[in-house]
Amino acid sequence: MKFFDTKYRLFGVLNLIDLVVVLALLAGAFAVYRVLAPKPEGPKASTGSDVTFEIVCPTLKKGFVSPGQIRIGDTISKNQGKPIGTVTGVNIVPTQGEVWDQAHSKIVTFQSTVSQDVIISVKTRGQATANGVVVGDSVLRSNEPMPVSTSTFECDTSYMANMKISGQ
């Protein structure tokens, strides 16, 4: 069986030149659609609900952070300068640890004498989504490590805890 007849029709039905023109028009239409179609938007600006949470900077060397170094009202940022909220409280506590007491077959907790945890309370406005809370162009998720900073403090290994969204 021949693919093209004497008039260059594919299987004797469709002209080859017509087929090429139709395919070119379809490719052109798809290209125009890709260029002009609305692009999916990233996270929206922080509108929505009041969000409060704590940022925990664990196991810092004792004396590394002084009580006045992080001030209430400071802006706290995530990932090199993207603001995520305002500091509403700071609590510096000894790091809690656990060891197994074999003599008594139980876990014993203790407070470290050489390291401390810095717990920073933060308030912001954001919108709850399936992926987390969107604040500005950042998505915040509980217990996910993230670097944070203020104008006088930086912590690369912090995580969020105790997130509360107003009305939820």
Query: Which stretches of 33-149 are assigned E, i.e. beta strand?
Result: 49-61, 75-78, 82-101, 106-129, 132-135, 138-140, 146-149
Q: Dig out the tokens for 77 from the structure.
A: 């940022």
Per-residue model confidence (pLDDT) at position 16: 67
Tens digits of residue pLDDT in 56-82:
888 778 778 877 888 899 998 887 677
With residue 18 as reference, give the H or E element that holds it.
helix 16-36
- Asked if residue 1 has pLDDT above 60, the reply is no
Per-residue model confidence (pLDDT) at position 152: 86
Q: Which residue has the tokens 């002009």?
A: 36
CA distance 14 to 12: 6
43 neighbors 137 (Cβ within 8 angstroms): yes
User: What residues does each domain of the chain span?
Assistant: 1-39, 49-165
- The model's pTM is 0.63
CA distance 133 to 144: 12
CA distance 32 to 165: 42
Distance of CA 139 to the CA centre of its chain: 3
Q: Which residue has the tokens 């260059």?
A: 8
Confidence of residue 44 (pLDDT cuts 50, 70, 90): very low
